[in-house]
C-alpha cells in the first residue's frame, strides 16, 4: 500500500501582504486616490495603521505623490496650467510636506508667467526661400522687444537654418533658438 501524500502546504498570505498587493494593483491602474473606496492610497494607509513604519506602504505613498507631480510637470510643459495645478493639489492631499512639491509649483508658476507668440509660416514660401513673403521683420521686432527665445519649426534642417539666419540678420544680437522638424513651419517665441 502506497502512503497517501498530503499536498504541500500553501503559504497563507498575511492580511498586510494582501493589502499591499491590492494597493499595487490600484497603483498600476492609476487608481491612486480614486475611487474613494478602492484606491492605492487608502490601502497603503490601512497597512500603516496595522504596521506603522511599513517601508513598502511608505514607498507606495511616496510613489503616488511622485506620479502626481510627474503629471503636473508634463501638463506645465504643455502649458496646461489648470491641470498641472490640479495634480499638485492631489499630491498635497497625499503628503503636503513632500519636498518635491515646491519645485513643481515653481515650474508651474514659471510656465504660467511665460508668454508665447506663434508665427505660422507658409511651407511653400519657406521651401522656396522667399524671404519677401515671410514676416521676418515683424518676428524680429518681437524678438528684439521681448528678448524672446525662438523655437523654429521647419520641414527640414536646411529650412530651419535658413529661418534662423534670416531672423539673426534682423536683430541686434544673436537669437537664442531651438529647432524642431515639423511639417508646418513656424516660429514660436517665448519669454
Q: Is the pLDDT of residue 146 over 80?
A: yes
| Secondary element (H or E) of residue 158 | helix 157-168
Q: Which residues contact 40 (CB under 8 A, 6 or more apart)?
A: 23, 24, 26, 27, 31, 32, 33, 60, 64
> What is the per-residue pLDDT across 41-70, written as a single tens digit (0 to 9) for each?
999 999 999 999 999 999 999 999 999 999
Banded model confidence at residue 10, pLDDT cuts 50, 70, 90: very low
Query: CATH 1.25.40: which residues of the chain?
Result: 15-113
> What is the per-residue pLDDT across 85-97, written as a single tens digit (0 to 9) for each?
999 999 999 999 9
* CA gap 190, 110 in Å, rounded: 12
Banded model confidence at residue 174, pLDDT cuts 50, 70, 90: very high
pLDDT at residue 76 in the model: 87
pLDDT at residue 1 in the model: 54
Between 44 and 78, the more confident residue is 44
pTM for this predicted structure: 0.60
Banded model confidence at residue 12, pLDDT cuts 50, 70, 90: very low
pLDDT at residue 4 in the model: 53
Beta bridge partners of 190: 116, 149
Please state which architecture CATH assigns to domain 15-113.
Alpha Horseshoe (1.25)
Amino acid at each position: 500500500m502506497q502512503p497517501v501524500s498530503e499536498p504541500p502546504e500553501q503559504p497563507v498570505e498575511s492580511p498586510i501582504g494582501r493589502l499591499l498587493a491590492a494597493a499595487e494593483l490600484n497603483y498600476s491602474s492609476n487608481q491612486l486616490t480614486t475611487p474613494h473606496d478602492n484606491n492605492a492610497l487608502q490601502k497603503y494607509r490601512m497597512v500603516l495603521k496595522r504596521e506603522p513604519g511599513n517601508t513598502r506602504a511608505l514607498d507606495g505613498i511616496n510613489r503616488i505623490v511622485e506620479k502626481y507631480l510627474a503629471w503636473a510637470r508634463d501638463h506645465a510643459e504643455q502649458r496646461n496650467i489648470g491641470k498641472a495645478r490640479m495634480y499638485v493639489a492631489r499630491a498635497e492631499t497625499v503628503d503636503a510636506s513632500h519636498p518635491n512639491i515646491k519645485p513643481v509649483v515653481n515650474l508651474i508658476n514659471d510656465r504660467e508667467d511665460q508668454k508665447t507668440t506663434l508665427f505660422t509660416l507658409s511651407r511653400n514660401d519657406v521651401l522656396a526661400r522667399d524671404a519677401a513673403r515671410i514676416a521676418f521683420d515683424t518676428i524680429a521686432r518681437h524678438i528684439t522687444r521681448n528678448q524672446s527665445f525662438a523655437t523654429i519649426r521647419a520641414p527640414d534642417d536646411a529650412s530651419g537654418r535658413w529661418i534662423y539666419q534670416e531672423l539673426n540678420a534682423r536683430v541686434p544680437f544673436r537669437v537664442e533658438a531651438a529647432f524642431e522638424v515639423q511639417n508646418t513651419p513656424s516660429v514660436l517665441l517665448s519669454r
